[in-house]
Structure 1
Amino acid sequence: MNLTRRHALAAGMTLVPLAGLAACGRSGGGGDSKSIAVIAKGYASPFWATVKAGAEAAGKELKVSVTFNGPDTETDVPRQNDQLQQALVKRPSALVFAALDSDAQGTVLQQFADESIPVVAFDSGVPGSDIPVSTVATDNKAAAAEAAKHLSELLGAKGKVAIICHSQTSLTGQDRENGFREWITANAPGITIVDVQYNNSDQAVAQQHASAIIQANADLAGIFATDDDGAVAAAQAVQTAGASAKVVGFDSGKPQMDLITSGAIAGSVTQNPYQMGYQAVQTALKVVNGESVEKFIDSGYFWYDATNMEDEDIQQAVYE
Structure 2
Amino acid sequence: MAKKKSWFALAGVTVMAAALLGACGGNGGGSQQANAPASSEASKAGDSQAAGKVYIPVISKGFQHQFWQAVKQGAEKAAKEYQVEITFEGPESETQVDKQIEMLQAALGKKPQAVALAALDSKAVAPLLQKAKAQNIPVVGFDSGVESDVPVTTAATDNKAAAALAADKMAELIGQEGEIALIVHDQTSRTGVDRRDGFVNRIKEKYPKIRIVDVQYGGGDHLKSTDLAKAILQAHPGVKGFFGANEGSAIGVLNAAAELKKEKLVIIGFDSGKQQIEAIRSGRMAGAITQDPIGIGYWSVKAAAMAVKGESVPKTIDTGFHWYDKSNMDSDTIKPLLYN
Q: What TM-score do you get using the length of structure 2 for normalisation?
A: 0.75
- Residue 303 of structure 1 aligns to a residue in which SS? strand
2:161 to 138, 142, 147: 142
Q: Hey, what does 1:70 align to over in structure 2? A: 90
- Residue 198 of structure 2 aligns to a residue in which SS? helix
Q: Hey, what does 2:315 align to over in structure 1? A: 295
- Residue 162 of structure 1 aligns to a residue in which SS? strand
Q: 1:198 to 1:87 in 2, by over 3 A?
A: closer
Q: 1:175 to 1:93 in 2, by over 3 A?
A: same
Matches of 2:102 and 2:248 in 1, distance apart? 29
Offset of residue 40 of structure 1: 1.9
Q: Does 1:271 align with 2:291?
A: yes
Percent identical pairs in the alignment equals: 46
From the CA coordinates, give the structure whose radius of gyration is larger. 1
Q: 1:98 to 1:241 in 2, by over 3 A?
A: closer
Q: Amino acid of the residue matched to residue 275 of structure 2?
A: P
Contact 2:271 2:288 in 1 (8 A): yes
Structure 2 unpaired stretches of 5+: 1-45
Offset of residue 184 of structure 1: 1.7
Q: Hey, what does 2:227 align to over in structure 1? A: 208
Offset of residue 44 of structure 1: 6.2
Give the count of matched residue pairs: 294
- Residue 142 of structure 1 aligns to a residue in which SS? helix
Task: Map Cα deviations across residues 83-128 of structure 1 (whole Å, 9 max, x no partner).
Answer: 435543543332112234455544443333233221111122433x
- Residue 334 of structure 2 aligns to a residue in which SS? helix
Greater CA deviation, 52-61 or 161-170? 161-170
Offset of residue 54 of structure 1: 0.5
Offset of residue 143 of structure 1: 1.0
Matches of 1:44 and 1:222 in 2, distance apart? 26
Matches of 1:282 and 1:148 in 2, distance apart? 33
Structure 1 unpaired stretches of 5+: 1-23
- Residue 292 of structure 1 aligns to a residue in which SS? coil
Q: Hey, what does 1:55 align to over in structure 2? A: 75
Offset of residue 304 of structure 1: 1.4
Q: Does 1:41 align with 2:74?
A: no
Cα RMSD over matched residues? 2.9
Offset of residue 209 of structure 1: 3.2
Offset of residue 266 of structure 1: 0.6
Offset of residue 150 of structure 1: 1.2
Q: Hey, what does 1:17 align to over in structure 2? A: none
Q: 1:108 to 1:237 in 2, by over 3 A?
A: closer
Contact 1:119 1:284 in 2 (8 A): yes
Matches of 2:63 and 2:115 in 1, distance apart? 16
Matches of 1:203 and 1:27 in 2, distance apart? 39
1:183 to 193, 199, 202: 202
- Residue 322 of structure 2 aligns to a residue in which SS? strand
Offset of residue 292 of structure 1: 2.3
Matches of 1:43 and 1:213 in 2, distance apart? 28
Contact 2:142 2:296 in 1 (8 A): yes
- Residue 241 of structure 2 aligns to a residue in which SS? strand
Q: Does 1:160 align with 2:168?
A: no
Q: Does 1:318 align with 2:338?
A: yes
Task: Map Cα deviations across residues 212-245 of structure 1 (whole Å, 9 max, x no partner).
Answer: 3333444322111212222222223333333322
Q: 1:83 to 1:313 in 2, by over 3 A?
A: farther
